[in-house]
Amino acid sequence: MKKGRCSPIISMANVIVIVLCLIFSILPAAIANPRTELVYKFCGVEQADNVSEFNQNYANAIVAMEPEIKSNKFSIYGEGLAPNRIFVLAQCMDDLSKEDCQICFSAIKTQLPGCFPHISGRVFFDGCFMRFENYSFFYESSSPHDVKRCSDAVNLKNDQFRDVATKVVKDVVTMAPVHGGYAEGRRKTYGLSVYGMAICWNTLDEKACSDCLSNASTAVLDCLPSIEARSLSVGCYFRYSEFESSNGSNFFNSKGAIFMYLVFILVAVGVCIIAILVGYIVGTTLHEKRVKHQTKHNGDSSDLESSVMKRSLHFKYSTLEKSTDNFSEERKIGQGGFGEVFKGTLPDGREIAIKRMFLTTKIRNEEISNEIDIIGQAQHQHLVRFLGCCFTADDSFLVYEYLENKSLDLILFDPKKKKELDWKKRLKIVEGTAEGLEYLHNDCQVRIIHRDIKPSNILLDSKYRPKIADFGLARVNIREKGSAPLVIAGTLYVMKHLNLD
């Protein structure tokens, strides 16, 4: 029987796409820096009247703030009723990209619940700030709990370093209030380099920002000759350092780096062009050879149905039609790129899952045969059990056991249903899935590599025991691996884009 193969031309194209994707994804990743290092955390002493309600108000506020953080890198929000009302502020440093800001916010929002059941707390990361209280604090510029952090390391050129650092601090304090509450500065003198950065939270006006940074500058200058210092205030953040930490001084600001980047791209494009030419020549040659032998495989359909009948796996179409009320929409329990899944009830009361696949005759001969060959040999307590199949002129049907709790994703991503999965059940699901994969990879007669493991392909029975599905739908590429043939399995839509050669 003819097995599905990707042509070398398509395979080479896939390789090229992968190479280019890697190039353009690795470079931004090297530049990204969300700066999620914890600098300072403070929790108040007063506790909430109703801890559960206060916690829930915090969770609701976080959800409401996320869209604004994503678009503006800043958000304030109030949630709930007194005395358990909560007010939250979060802001990223201006030099962070929106993507880095989301990463920083995702990390910092998990820190504040550590202050519960107290009704106040604040956290400073190097890239973002977050605070909550049970009152509206958004316009505060100072607090008794404002602190400074001085580095233990000192610059040996004491007086010269003090002079340069003082000038940088004054520059930044002057610029930030009149430039939207953010400024960076640097000076290089006496062979020394000092960098400064200041930011006010967006709720402060120009005067409040100026007052906050004035106090902050006084605090950090007391740290001299430390090589680095920070002022951490409820209204602003100030830092000076021997080392430039701003993301504004990234990879692309270097002319040499830009040149290397362009060279990297040109080399990659050249390699891709050569690969296309080689792939075209090899692919054309092999395609001509395959065309000569194509007529040898015209009898696949009859062979397939004969094989099915011999295995006693055949279901009558009328039986499946009756069990699903003529494949009514009410009986449909799922749909994918390859077809639909219906719930059926047999005359003896057994519940079954029927997969109707909309495939052409040519594809059906290849794919359904693969499915039956593979799953017929794969029998394990953590694999969905195959019961049989049915073929008509237009459709192909595969019949499986029906699992009451359906797929894991329907429970895991449902706010209410996911509560049914305590950690003990989740651990058993993970262990069961791992056992099923271990069997497919190492113990099955035909080695199967499932390339599409995801929650929707993990089904659960009435006791939440997992069973792996869709391990037979595959583009098959059998090779000798010792004595075990190899099958790479996954959903048709995903697998048709992969290079299996």
**pLDDT greater than 90 at residue 73:** yes
**Closest to 59 (Cα-Cα) out of 8, 104, 24, 110:** 110
Render pLDDT for 298-323 as a digit per residue (tens, 0 to 9).
444 445 454 544 455 678 889 999 99
Homologous superfamily, domain 299-495? Transferase(Phosphotransferase) domain 1 (1.10.510.10)
CA distance 308 to 386: 13
- Cross-strand bridge partners of residue 341: 334, 355
Task: Check pLDDT > 70 for residue 498.
Answer: no
pLDDT in tens, 22-70: 555 444 444 557 888 999 999 999 999 999 999 999 999 999 999 999 9
- Asked if 223 and 151 touch (Cβ cutoff 8 Å), the reply is yes
% of the chain surpassing 70 pLDDT: 74
Give me the architecture of the 38-133 domain, per CATH: 2-Layer Sandwich (3.30)
pLDDT of residue 69: 96
Nearest C-alpha neighbor of 384 from the set 469, 479, 491, 260: 469
Of the pLDDT bands very low, low, confident and very high (cuts 50, 70, 90), residue 359 is low
One fold for both 38-133 and 147-249?
yes
> What per-residue confidence (pLDDT) applies to 481?
40
Domain boundaries, the chain: 1-30+256-297, 38-133, 147-249, 299-495
Smallest Cα–Cα separation from 178: which of 202, 217, 218, 209?
209
- Nearest Cα to Cα of residue 379 among 269, 252, 317, 471: 471
Say what the pLDDT of residue 477 is: 35
User: What pLDDT shows up at residue 379?
Assistant: 81
| Per-chain mean pLDDT for the chain | 80
Q: Which amino acid is at 431?
A: E
Mean pLDDT of the region 210-218: 95
pLDDT over threshold 80, residue 246: no
- According to DSSP, residue 379 is labeled -
Q: Is domain 147-249 given the CATH code 3.30.430.20 in the classification? A: yes
Residue 429 pLDDT class (50, 70, 90 cuts): very high
**pLDDT of amino acid 500:** 40
**Encoding tokens for residue 242?**
């021997």
Tell me the mean pLDDT in the region 397-410: 88
Residue 174 near residue 137 (C-beta atoms within 8 A): no
Instruction: Decide: 461 and 500 in contact? Cβ < 8 Å.
Output: no
CA distance 252 to 8: 37
Say which of 452, 461, 470, 501 is annotated catalytic: 452
Reported as a single tens digit per residue, the pLDDT across 122-172 is: 999 999 999 999 999 999 999 999 999 999 888 888 888 999 999 999 999
The residues facing 41 across adjacent strands are 123
Active site residue 452: yes
Burial of 274 (0-12, 13-18, 19+ CB in 10 A): exposed
pLDDT grade for 357, boundaries at 50, 70 and 90:
confident
- What is the reported pTM? 0.47
295 band by pLDDT with thresholds 50, 70 and 90: very low
Q: Is 419 annotated as a binding residue?
A: no
